Amino acid sequence: MGRRMELNVLVLPGDGIGPEVTREAVRVLEHVAARWGHALRLREGLLGGIAIRKTGGPFPDQTRELAMASDATLLGAVGLPEFDDLPPSKRPEKGLLGLRKALDVYANLRPVYCFESLIESSPLKNDIVRGTDILIVRELTGGLYFGQPRGIHGPEGSETAVNSMVYARSEIERVCHMAFDLARKRKRKVTSVDKANVLENSQLWRRVVAELAEGYPDVELEHMLVDNCAMQLLLRPTEFDVVVTENLFGDILSDEGSVLAGSIGMLPSASVGNRLPNGAWRGLFEPVHGSAPDIAGQGKANPLAAIGSAAAMLNYSFGLTEEAAAIESAVSQVLDSGRVTADLKPTGPPASTAEVGQAVCDAIA
Residues known to be catalytic: 145, 195, 227, 251, 255
Nearer Cβ to Mn ion, position 5 or 193? 193
User: Does the protein bind ligand IPM through residue 327 (CB under 6 A)?
Assistant: no
Number of shown-chain residues binding Mn ion (CB under 5 A):
1
246 vs 251, beta carbon nearer Mn ion: 251
| Single residue of 7, 32, 96, 182 touching ligand IPM by CB under 6 A | 96
Reported for 291-295, long-range contacts at CB under 8 A and 24+ positions apart, including other chains, are 291/14, 291/15, 291/16, 291/17, 291/18, 291/48, 291/49, 291/76, 291/77, 291/78, 291/79, 291/80, 292/16, 292/17, 292/77, 293/15, 293/16, 293/17, 293/79, 293/80, 293/81, 295/17
The answer to whether the CB of 240 falls within 8 A of the CB of 207 is no
Least gap, CB of 14 to ligand IPM (angstroms): 9
Figure out which of the listed residues 26, 172, 261, 288 binds ligand IPM, where binding follows CB under 6 A.
288
Size of the site for ligand IPM (CB under 6 A): 7
Nearest CA among 141, 163, 144, 140 for reference residue 152: 163
Q: Say if CB 233 and CB 256 are below 8 A apart.
A: yes
List CB contacts of 228: < 8 A, sequence separation 6 or more.
Answer: none
Least Å from the CB of residue 84 to ligand IPM: 13
Q: How far is the CB of 250 from Mn ion (least distance, A)?
A: 9
Distance, in Å, from the CA atom of 290 to the CA atom of 3, rounded to the nearest integer, reads 35
Q: What is the C-alpha separation between 144 and 129, in angstroms, rounded? A: 30
Amino acid at 11: V
Q: Does 93 sit near Mn ion (CB under 5 A)?
A: no
Q: Show the site string, 64-93: x = touches ligand IPM by CB under 6 A, - = not.
A: --------------xx-------------x
d(CA 365, CA 358): 13
CB-based contacts of 239: which residues, under 8 Å, 6+ apart?
232
Taking the complex as a whole, the smallest distance from the CB of residue 96 to ligand IPM amounts, in Å, to: 5
Confirm if 1 and 331 have CB atoms less than 8 A apart: no
> Which of Mn ion, ligand IPM, none does residue 50 bind (CB under 5 to 8 Å by kind)?
none
By beta-carbon proximity to Mn ion, the closer residue of 173 and 255 is: 255
Select 20 or 139, whichever has its Cβ closest to ligand IPM.
Answer: 139
Residue 187 CB partners (closer than 8 Å, separation 6+): 241
Residue ranges in 218-277 that form contacts with ligand IPM under rule CB under 6 A = 251
Q: How far is the CB of 79 from ligand IPM (least distance, A)?
A: 5
Q: How far apart are CB 47 and ligand IPM at their closest, in Å?
A: 11
333 Cβ contact partners less than 8 Å away, ≥ 6 residues apart: 363
Closest residue to ligand IPM using C-beta atoms: 93
Nearer to ligand IPM, 96 or 344 (CB): 96
Cβ closest to Mn ion, residue 66 vs residue 97? 97
Indicate the pairing of strand 270-272 with strand 283-285.
antiparallel
Is 139 a binder of Mn ion (CB under 5 A)? no
Contact positions with Mn ion (CB under 5 A) in 200-259? 251
SS3 103: helix
Interface positions with Mn ion (CB under 5 A): 251
List residues binding ligand IPM (CB under 6 A): 78-79, 93, 96, 251, 288, 290
